[in-house]
Amino acid sequence: MSFEITTKDLDVFYGEKQALKKVNLCVNEHQITALMGPSGCGKSTLLRSLNRMNDNIAGVRVEGQVLLGGRDVYAPEVDAVEIRQRVGMVFQQPNPLPKSIFENIAFGPKVLGMKNKTALEEIAEKSLRAAALWDEVKDELKKSALALSGGQQQRLCIARALAIQPEVILMDEPCSALDPFSTLKIEELMQVLKKRYTIVIVTHNMQQAARVSDWTGFFLMGKLIEYDETAEVFSRPKDKRTENYITGRFG
Amino acid sequence: MVESEKTWHNLPDRVSSRYLIDKLSRRAVFACAAISLLVLVAIVAFILREGLPAFIQIGVGEFLFGAEWSLKGQEFGILPLVLGSVLATFGTLIIAAPLSIACAIFLAEVSPKRVANVLRSAIEVLVGIPSVVYGLVGMAVLVPVIRKLGGSGYSLLAGIAVLSVMVLPTMTTITEDSLRAVPRGYKEAALALGATHWQAVWRVTVPAAKSGIAAAFVLGMGRAIGETMAVYMVIGNVFAFPTSPLDPARTMTTHILGQIQEAAVGSLHLRALFAVGIVLMIFILIFNSIAFALRRRVQ
């Protein structure tokens, strides 16, 4: 089995504060890896360091390595913009751009320099189908994306990420702003998507981690406490702290 | 002695005077607020009283679309002035708009925080410089440069150049505010989709802030059309239709400033100058209403 992403002794600092401490994590290809833990444990920081979204935060410092397909994404010659094309991201709050549904999908290909209208329309259809949104919006692609429901917006954000053909999709608590039904739809979608993409999801919700993921990592205060196959973590946690967390004794 | 639970420490007795102070101060601040509104109403009423008769005496069409202003012939047409003001204002917009967007993007998106803070204070100082100083610098620096392009140098272009510098702070500040008001999620979305920093700013942040930016432009235009002294000192003040940016011109404001001392009390001449003031106020009212509407849309 090959690893899509490997972090090696990854430290992340925000100014003086250390948010991640020597994290070593191997993310398997075409599987769903869930990162869970209480607020402020560093799970979102880790996610955002995988596609260098932390670069834009003032005072951030990264040490150690993040290997994507064997190459360090923090190596000096690597362009963060290129990394983000290979590693797509879906955010906690659905954040469609204040443009039409079509323009949201076309944005990624367009910034890459694609101009051909027919090709863009093809991409839009494919991406929306892949995100299970096509049937709901196919007649109103010109409508503002902001007019969609929260769940639809989040699937649009997934479709938009698929449009740039990433290898990995990072999801930062993608369902925390959604109702249970929309959550279910996204979880079902993830099962389909993992056949083609590697997915890393950060979640607050232990049931969600247990339901959707193949591997689970438990974070506490910047450290990766336990990392194993999901069934293993939830049935036979090796660390006392993991056990306390999943049995609801804190967090 | 056993203290009762309710009085474990002593508070002063009820002081009734603070209720009186509360009441009085509320009335005092209301009165001050009311005075500012009254002053505005009084100014508008005064200008209308002085100026409206001129519209009737001269005739609205004759006044607005006439191209002659002669005391001997008692002709008062202001079309060249309106045109001068409009050209100066739009000329200013053309120069200042791209500059202010560039400055605002630099401040909001590109420069390190510390540099931005220094620059922002510098921009605030720029607002505080008296307009006569802008005029002086314009005369000493700009006019000789423009003279090399042709003409006397005292020209529409000189006026536009001075105005552009003067409205730049207003436009930059409001543009920067609207860029900063764009939700962070938009830019993050763009970056996560593989946009470069510049693409994210230019294709997402700027369009998302467009109402606020438009408001900034319109407010800047309001300032430009109302500015008097600095323009007076460099624009040449010739009552004529300018045919090129190098020609001298005259605006409504500079016309009033130039003529007011010669206008006899009670004369049609003076009333006509007030009528110019009315036209000017209407322009500014329109600009401000548009800006107000645009800024409300932002919220």
Q: Is B13 among the domain residues?
A: no
Q: Which residues pair with A62 in a beta bridge?
A: A12
Q: Is B32 among the domain residues?
A: no
The verdict on B190 touching A (C-beta cutoff 8 Å) is: yes
pLDDT tens for A11-62 read 999 999 999 999 999 999 999 999 999 988 999 999 999 999 998 888 899 9
Interchain proximity A53–B188, CB inside 8 Å: yes
Alpha-carbon gap, residue B83 to B247, rounded angstroms? 13
Tokens linked to B71: 């005391």
Is the ipTM reported for this complex over the cut 0.90?
Answer: yes
Q: Is B45 among the domain residues?
A: no
Q: B-chain residues within 8 Å CB-CB of A111? A: 190, 193-196, 199, 203
Q: Point out the residue among A93, A98, A107 whose CB comes nearest to the CB of B193.
A: A107
The verdict on B130 touching A (C-beta cutoff 8 Å) is: no
Q: Is B86 among the domain residues?
A: yes
pLDDT at res. A6: 93
Query: Residue B227 belongs to what domain range?
Result: 69-298
Interchain proximity B189–A97, CB inside 8 Å: yes
Q: Residue A3 phi/psi, 5° resolution?
A: -90, 135
The verdict on A84 touching B (C-beta cutoff 8 Å) is: yes
Full set of structural domains in chain A with CATH: 3-246 (3.40.50.300)
The verdict on B199 touching A (C-beta cutoff 8 Å) is: yes
Nearest alpha carbon to residue A56 among B177, B209, B187, B202: B187
Q: A-chain residues within 8 Å CB-CB of B110? A: none
Long-range contacts of A187-193 (CB under 8 A, 24+ apart): A187/A211, A187/A212, A188/A132, A189/A131, A189/A132, A189/A155, A189/A158, A190/A32, A191/A32, A192/A130, A192/A132, A193/A130, A193/A158, A193/A162, A193/A169
Q: Is B287 among the domain residues?
A: yes
C-alpha Rg value of chain A to the nearest Å = 18
pLDDT at res. A148: 95
Q: Mean of the per-residue pLDDT values for chain B?
A: 93
Tokens linked to A4: 């899509």
Mean pLDDT of B161-180: 96
* CATH code of residue B118: 1.10.3720.10
Mean pLDDT by runs of 10 across the 251 residues of chain A is: 83 93 94 93 93 88 92 92 94 95 96 94 95 94 95 96 95 93 93 95 92 95 94 93 88 60
Are B162 and B234 in contact by the 8 Å Cβ rule? The answer is: yes
pTM, full prediction: 0.86
pLDDT tens for B69-91 read 999 889 999 999 999 999 999 99
Mean pLDDT of B247-264: 95
pLDDT tens for B109-119 read 999 999 999 99
Number of domains, chain B: 1
Alpha-carbon gap, residue A183 to A178, rounded angstroms? 6
Q: Is B135 among the domain residues?
A: yes
Q: Is B22 among the domain residues?
A: no
pLDDT at res. A1: 47
Our CA-based measurement puts residue B194 at a distance from the nearest CA of chain A, in whole angstroms, of: 5
Are A158 and A90 in contact by the 8 Å Cβ rule? The answer is: yes
Q: Is B125 among the domain residues?
A: yes
Q: B-chain residues within 8 Å CB-CB of A160? A: 189, 193
Are A234 and A210 in contact by the 8 Å Cβ rule? The answer is: yes
In A, minimum Cα distance to B198 occurs at A111
